[in-house]
A = this chain, B = another copy of it.
């Protein structure tokens, strides 16, 4: 039952051609029918406040191109594309504003939103190899209108490097802690911070690093409170969630 069908039914009720009881019955019988045929993107923006994001992995450059242009034509003005190869970025039809961020393998069609909140999202990594995941998170957060502070390569084996940034950790509104290998960064940061910490395990390491599983398990078992975890290498997910938290309105 689409919008027109609902409208027709209501007109019949208004005209007295269908009784109220019959109409109730009819509606009851299709409790799950989507009565809205509006554009999916618009709907999502209304429902969750953020437009569609294009996950580029496994999509051909042509597919990415077409989806992005369709969203653009649909009116979306900050279209994030993640996991986009440089080749795909080069092949992209540049008849719309387009910026590629090679460090995070991401792009934005249109423009990143101006930061509309004052607070910072702090992105912190254990090693330099974690930077691509960190940049995916950073581009995501910036596109969604956040200020991002980056502190990279401050793993816990040299704890003083990390502690020299205690100030930034204590002032952040949300922290994204990114680490591979043993993932201990999340626990130490979680113990220092007074804000939510989103832990992102990365697939960095060898042998029993198991492609990020060790870091993931370590983070899930963090003895610090206020830490939650997303999938391995999921920079986008962390950036998206951090933005959501950073945009919380005061509730008092």
Interface residues of A (CB under 8 A from B): 3, 6-7, 10-11, 13-14, 16, 20-21, 23-24, 27-28, 30-36, 38, 40, 43-44, 47-50, 53, 57-59, 116-119, 126-129, 155-161, 163-164, 166-167, 170, 173, 181-184, 187-188, 190-196, 198, 201, 203-234, 236-237, 240-241, 244-252
Contacts and interface: CB of A to CB of B under 8 A. Distances in A.
A205 B223 CA distance: 9
B217 A241 contact: no
A71 to B, nearest CB: 15
B214 A188 contact: no
Contact of A32 (B3, B192, B213, B237): B192
Most chain B CB atoms below 10 A, which of A10, A20, A229: A10
Contacts of A190: 157
B220 A229 contact: yes
A228 B225 contact: no
Contacts of A201: 207
A194 B47 contact: yes
8 contacts: A31-B163, A48-B193, A156-B224, A182-B218, A184-B222, A206-B233, A208-B231, A208-B232
Contacts of A233: 206-207
A198 B249 contact: no
Contact of A184 (B49, B184, B193): B184
